[in-house]
Amino acid sequence: MNKRNLKNALYEQVAKIGKATSSPKRLELLELLAQGEKSVEVLANELAITLKLASSHLQVLKEARLVVPRRDGKFIYYQLAGSDVSHLWVAMREVAQEHLLELRLALDALSSAPDKLASCNRKQIMEQAKRGEIIVIDVRPKVEFDHSHLPFARSMPLNEIAKRIAELPKNIEIVAYCRGPFCLFSEEAAQLLSAKGRKVSKLLDGVAEWTSAGMPLETQ
Convert the pLDDT of each residue in 46-64 to its tens digit: 999 999 999 999 999 999 9
Question: Which residues belong to the active site?
Answer: 178
Residues 109 and 75 in one domain: no
Quick check: 115 pLDDT over 80? no
Question: Within this chain, do residues 208 and 104 fall inside the same structural domain, yes or no?
Answer: yes
Same domain, 199 and 157: yes
Domain boundary, last residue among 19, 52, 83:
83
Beta-carbon count within 10 A of 185 CB:
22
| CA 93 to centroid of chain Cα atoms | 11
Range of the domain at 56: 3-83
36 and 132 in a single domain? The answer is no
- CATH number at 208 reads 3.40.250.10
Going from the C-alpha of 105 to that of each of 96, 98, 112, the distances in angstroms are 12, 11, 11
Give residue-wise pLDDT tens across range 209-218: 999 999 999 9
When pLDDT is averaged across residues 67-72 and rounded to a whole number, the result is 97
Mean per-residue pLDDT for 25-45? 98
Q: What is the mean pLDDT of the chain?
A: 93
133-183 pLDDT, tens digit each: 999 999 999 999 999 999 999 999 999 999 999 999 999 999 999 999 999
Among 83, 110, 127, the domain-final residue is 83
Q: Do 69 and 27 share a structural domain?
A: yes
Same domain as 105, residue 78: no
Q: Categorize the per-residue pLDDT at 121 as very low, low, confident or very high, splitting at 50, 70 and 90.
A: confident
Model confidence at 109, pLDDT cuts 50, 70, 90, reads confident
Residue 89 belongs to a domain: no
| Count of domains forming the chain | 2
Q: Where are any strands of DSSP class E within the chain?
A: 38-39, 67-72, 75-80, 116-117, 134-138, 154-155, 173-177, 200-203
Q: What is the pLDDT of residue 22?
A: 97
